Every structure is written in structure tokens, then in C-alpha cells.
Amino acid sequence: MRTIFSNEEIAKLKQNPCVFSCTNNSVNYTYEFKKRALELHTNGVSAKEIWRRSDFNVKIWKKEYFRCTLRDWKEIVKKHGIEGLLKVGGIQYDRGPTNIDKDKIKRLELQVKYLKVENDFLAQLRAKRAESNSGRVKNTESSKD
């Protein structure tokens, strides 16, 4: 039985830079995420931990989802090589080779969004710091007295 996602869960999943697209019953991951997930798993990181490290709420999936998804990706790589994860008809397919730029653009847009939020936060922090420093008594008297 598959996991069915609520509208709120879909919206949250779509914000994750590792997700290419999402519907109420499927998540399509970016090629980069798939590749990195397989590398991490080869290096001993558990399947569930890979999703957790990628900022996913692992509680919304069924227990075997992570292991089975990686198994499917490994089968594709075994049959077609790592580029097989890009091919139409592959399990957990996210896009064809002609759409690689779309993935890059989406990832970069999310990165810009994150950096804007970070800049706003730092600007607020600088403003608070300047405000607290402005309360200090400064020597404004002239030395000519």
C-alpha cells in the first residue's frame, strides 16, 4: 500500500530542493539527490537517515519506503548505468535528459530564496546590534576645552 500525501505535505515536499515534483501518491526526486543517496548508502548511511539528512519528515512514509526506493534505483543503475536514473520509464523517474536545465533552475531558485531569507535575517541582526551599540555613551566633547 502506497503513502497518500495531504495537500500540506505536498506543499512542504515541493519546497525541498531534492524534490523535482510531487503528487498525492508519488514523489519524484532530482537526479542529483538520487545519485547522492546511492553514494551515501554505499558508504554505510542508512536509507532512512539519507532522507532525514535531506530535511525530509521521514514519519510521513511507510517503514520500508526508503530501503525499497534505493533498491529500485540500484536496479536501474545496474541495468542502465547512473544515467539510467534520467531515462523515461525508470522507477521514480523525474525527468528526461532534455529537462536537466529545469532541475538546475529549480534548485538555484530555491537556493536564491534561502539566501534572501538569510540576508534578511543578517540585516535584522546587524540593525539590532547597531541599535544596542548606539546606546553607548560616546565622547563627543572637543579636546579644545
DSSP notation for 78-129: HHH-GGGGGSTT-TT----GGGHHHHHHHHHHHHHHHHHHHHHHHHHHHHHH
pLDDT tens, residue by residue, 34-58: 999 999 999 999 999 999 999 998 8
What pLDDT, in 10s, does the model give residues 92-125? 444 445 556 666 777 778 778 878 888 888 999 8
Count how many domains the chain has: 1
Report the predicted TM-score, pTM, of the whole model to 2 decimal places. Answer: 0.59
The grid cell for 67 is 530501503
Q: What are phi and psi of 57, to 5 degrees?
A: -85, 100
The answer to whether position 69 is within a domain reads: yes
Please name every residue paired with 27 in a beta bridge, in sequence order, or none if there are none: 22
What is the 8-class DSSP label of residue 57? Answer: -
**Cβ(119)–Cβ(54) below 8 Å:** no
For residue 112, being part of any structural domain is answered with no
Q: State the average pLDDT over residues 112-140.
A: 80
Domain that holds residue 92: 7-96
